[in-house]
Amino acid sequence: MSTESRLVDAHDLHVHYGESHVLRGVSLSIRAGEAVGLLGRNGMGKTTLIRTIMGHLRASRGSIRIRDGDGSRMPADRIARAGIAYVPEGRAIFPNLSVRENLLVAARAGTTGRNDWPLARILDTFPRLAERLDQGGQQLSGGEQQMLAIGRALSTNPDVLILDEATEGLAPLIVREIWRIIGEIRGSGIASLIVDRNFRTVLANTDRALILEKGRIVVEDRSQALITQPSELAARLGV
């Protein structure tokens, strides 16, 4: 992978929570247009890695490049403006704002000035939101809130979309709809980093995947190759 194509390039990251050494030399890259799966049991450091990339946590050692900038020194808002959008676990929508306001509050052109995801396209992609534009965020179901969180991220016209537990706690019908939307986003050329408990669906919707175990990357391979290694997945993911 050439360094020129890397939108995110994290190298040898170490992160501590007090005395707890959570990430232990993790390296991860995301290149333009690529979909990457991040797998692992609960508590292995996936969300910590994402929050470190996004500038919400600081690494005690290691480096992060966001495009050509030093991501380890960037504040979180600058990382977002560098084209990295984040849909966190728990969605973090604004409950007291309407659906329309949630979508417009973050809307901006992308890093090249393009506006591929105006409000109209987002509403075409999420017809449920179009029906609820004037409702408050707190009035939406969990699945609708997740759609809103993804739509809000797309309104920033990102180059990379990071999804942490994209379908957790959602009904099967909504889960299928979310994965359909993720596939559409992938087809649009936006790179992605996807965390989800359904490893089979993650592997089916990504180019390559990494497995994180006790703060270390223990497996990295093409997603289609990993699908054919059920014993390795069982050993690493407990499935």
**Res 1 pLDDT > 80:** no
The rounded distance, in Å, linking the Cα atoms of 9 and 58 is 15
Quote the pTM value: 0.92
**Rounded to the nearest 10 degrees, how much is the dihedral formed by the CA atoms of 81, 85, 87, 92?**
10
Task: Average the pLDDT over 176-193 and give the result.
Answer: 93
CATH of the domain at 183: 3.40.50.300
What residues make up the domain containing 54? 3-237
Q: Which helix (H) or strand (E) segment is 218 a member of? A: strand 216-222
pLDDT band at 2 (very low <50, low <70, confident <90, very high): very low
Considering its fold, how many domains does the chain have in total? 1
- Report the distance separating Cα 198 and Cα 202, nearest Å: 6
DSSP state of 215: T
Determine contact, residues 173/165, Cβ cutoff 8 Å.
no
pLDDT tens-digit readout, 35-62: 999 999 998 999 999 999 999 999 999 9
Q: Are 161 and 50 in contact (CB under 8 A)?
A: no
Residue 5 has pLDDT above 90, yes or no: no
> Is residue 69 within a helix (H) or strand (E), and if so which, with residue range?
strand 69-70
- Token representation of residue 139: 């009035």
SS3 23: strand
